[in-house]
Amino acid sequence: MKTALRGLLIATALVWPGLSHAKTIRAVMHSDLRALDPIVSSAYITRDHGYMVYDTLVAMDSSFTIRPQMADWKVSDDKLTYTFTLRDGLKWHDGTPVTAEDCIASLKRWAAVDGMGQKLMDFTAGLEAPDTRTIVLKLKEPYGLVLESLGKPSTLVPFMMPKRLADTPSDRPIPEQIGSGPFKFVPAEFQPGVKAVYEKNKDYVPRAEPPSWTSGGKVVKVDRVEWITMPDVQTATSALQSGDIDFLERPSFDMLPILQADKDLTSRPLSGLGFQTIGRMNFLYPPFDNVKVRRAAMMALSQKDILDAMVGDPKLYKICGAVFGCDTPLASDLGSDSLVKGGGMVEAKKLLAESGYDGTPVVMLAPTDVVTLKTQPIVAAQLLRQAGFQVAVQSMDWQTANMVFASQKPPKEGGWNMFFTNWGIADIMNPVVSAPLNSRGRKGGWVGWPDDPQMESLRDAFARAGSPEAQKKIAAEIQARALDEVTYVPLGQYFAPSVWHKELTGILDGPATPLFWNIDKPE
């Protein structure tokens, strides 16, 4: 593989003269990039691609504060009008100027599919562009999450794009990748399953502030970034140690000790928030259409058992009952005793016996090709069987699993009952941004489709809350409701270190994604 990779790099330099002298970062990301539209796809690798190519009106810093990015803003005294003014020097990659109309079209496309965007539009009376640099958002009533919505750092991010692209229906991918961000996508070199290439946007004018998470000055210090696809963890590890690649986003946990012992490499989690691994049940069909059965299943699941098998090293995980993630402004352990303390198997068996469970098999999806998703189904199936459940584990690759769990077909017709996934804490840290808490049922909810008007009422109340204190009180009520109804099962928090060569400098922490601006590399 090392010889093949070197051959690929040599061939690239021959096809594109002068690239052998370009300052290039070669990275292996957590997944192969295939879907390019960050509004159509919620895949984290597509979000990461979005941050390379696109920019946002506002952005979140490491203190959870929203900062100006493409635009500054003013808020009227009655809190009903937000006026955004685009900063000077903004150009699309095709050389045309960024306009307010472009941004309005981008916001509308994003808001059609994003849960937080949908909620914002519920409160919006109008979105207008009185001139080419001014965006006016008028509300029906005061709404406390306007800036948090526009500055949300992870899936789905409200990236700005030209109007001609933003006018594409939100269920169809845009035909080209033109943004105003710090890098330009190189379509001629894009080979799904092989590599994706980005070049420095020489026309990009960074903000003057220092970078912090996705906010501040995005100063690009290299000529190119290449994402090389290497699904085999041993191959990626060897390529990093040999210098064929510079950066490995998500090494397997069992390979970390080898990499951390290499004096030429640096390793640390780039997100201090980490990830939450969760179990999700299908509310549409037996057995989990019965809340008593859901409660029995949650009681049987142990965070420690899941995290020990998945991560292993206790330094890299945290037993955490907070629905909104530990170490976030809304963190709470209310109602999570069985999850964090374990030992609930006796109670799980009792609850299952009382629930009327009739032995209906739990069809559990088990991805085979993602390091951080392979172990949860194995451990969970064993624990559920101990509690008295019948479990049918179906192994498949993650892309296939995504298609299966998006289906509302009954389990007997190719549907499912339970699956596991991971969310960056930035994607679940408040009730409105959190997709797993969306309880709008078949027509608007996230996969699993809980239909819970009380939960939706609480989420609306959180959105209307006028102070952090009021938000925290409502968030605690939401956590209690989520765990009582078993809207989903939070199975703990973990931290995934990235590894890179020590010659790379300026690597930034972020809320969810590796950030390639500010990184430098010797000639």
Global pTM reads 0.87
Give the CA distances from residue 383 to residues 295, 358, 421, in Å, rounded to whole numbers and listed in that order.
14, 18, 18
What pLDDT, in 10s, does the model give residues 166-191? Answer: 999 998 999 999 999 999 999 999 99
DSSP string, 357-390: -----EEEEEESS-GGGSHHHHHHHHHHHHHT--
In a domain, 398, yes or no: yes
pLDDT for the residue numbered 190: 97
Cα–Cα dist 216/239, whole Å: 33
Burial of 512 per CB tally in 10 Å (0-12, 13-18, 19+): buried
| The three-state (H, E, C) secondary structure of 7-43, written as one string | HHHHHHHHHCCCHHHCCEEEEECCCCCCCCCCCCCCC
In a domain, 478, yes or no: yes
Which domain does 284 fall in, by range? 275-494
pLDDT for the residue numbered 12: 45
Same domain, 346 and 482: yes
488: domain CATH number is: 3.10.105.10
What pLDDT, in 10s, does the model give residues 486-517? Answer: 999 999 999 999 999 999 999 999 987 899 99
In a domain, 10, yes or no: no
Same domain, 219 and 285: no
**What does the block give as tokens for 366?**
């088990």
Cα–Cα dist 376/304, whole Å: 11
Are the CB atoms for 125 and 138 separated by under 8 Å? yes
Same domain, 44 and 193: yes
Same domain, 358 and 460: yes
Same domain, 226 and 292: no
Same domain, 372 and 237: no
Are the CB atoms for 292 and 355 separated by under 8 Å? yes
Same domain, 231 and 279: no
* Amino acid sitting at position 64: F
In a domain, 376, yes or no: yes
Please report the sign of the dihedral spanned by the C-alpha atoms of residue 32, residue 34, residue 36, residue 39: negative
Same domain, 196 and 301: no
Same domain, 180 and 290: no
In a domain, 270, yes or no: no
pLDDT for the residue numbered 14: 39
Please give the angle made by the CA atoms of 519, 325 and 459, to the nearest 5 degrees. Answer: 115
In a domain, 516, yes or no: no
In a domain, 453, yes or no: yes
Q: How far is CA 83 from the centre of its chain?
A: 28
Are the CB atoms for 334 and 482 separated by under 8 Å? no
Q: Which residues in the chain show pLDDT less than 50?
A: 1-4, 6-19
Same domain, 478 and 347: yes
108: domain CATH number is: 3.40.190.10
Same domain, 37 and 162: yes
Same domain, 287 and 189: no
In a domain, 515, yes or no: no
Are the CB atoms for 424 and 275 separated by under 8 Å? yes
Number of domains into which the chain is organized: 2
